[in-house]
Amino acid sequence: MQGGSPRLQPWGESDTHHDQEEVFYVQSGEATFEVTDAPDTEAAEAVSVGAGEVIRFPAGEFQTGYNEETNDEPVVGFALGAPAPKHDWDEIEAAIPCQACGEETGHGVSLSDGGAFEYTCLTCGNQFAI
């Protein structure tokens, strides 16, 4: 199992992990998660998760977690993934607006040797790193 302690910002990107399920535990604040079977945010269902609550996402389900802009309290929580201790980077997909073609589409995600996230648009092939 791998985990982390995220602080959610008032924005987010939709992503999925085809190789693992994820569980998010909200320690303080209230997070909003948009959940969908495809990277189409218009079809997403919004779910609020408050302090002391958890939400689970099966492998392959797209989710976006964020803190509502109107919420003054930061969201602090834990993200847990199972079963692998590390990601199969070929099995991660993020749905974000492409900088080249302008479409909100799936992007392949990889990790560079320097630790940066590298995204590749699955529609036009544009690549960028953050």
Q: For residue 117, give every residue at least 6 positions away whose Cβ sits within 8 Å of its Cβ, in sequence order, or none.
A: 109, 110, 111, 129, 130
With a threshold of 0.85, does the pTM exceed it? no
Same domain for 109 and 77, yes or no, is no
Amino acid identity, position 115: G
pLDDT tens digits along 38-88: 766 567 788 999 999 999 988 888 888 888 877 778 888 888 877 665 656
Q: How distant is the alpha carbon of residue 111 from its chain centre? A: 15
Provide the residue range defining the domain that includes 123: 89-129
CATH of the domain at 13: 2.60.120.10
Same domain for 65 and 100, yes or no, is no
In this prediction, residue 5 carries a pLDDT of: 47
In this prediction, residue 125 carries a pLDDT of: 93
**Among candidate residues 85, 90, 49, the one with its CA nearest the CA of residue 68:** 49
CB 66 within 8 A of CB 8: yes
How many domains does one find in the chain? 2
- Structure tokens of 89? 């980077």
What mean pLDDT do residues 87-99 have? 73
In this prediction, residue 13 carries a pLDDT of: 61
In this prediction, residue 52 carries a pLDDT of: 95
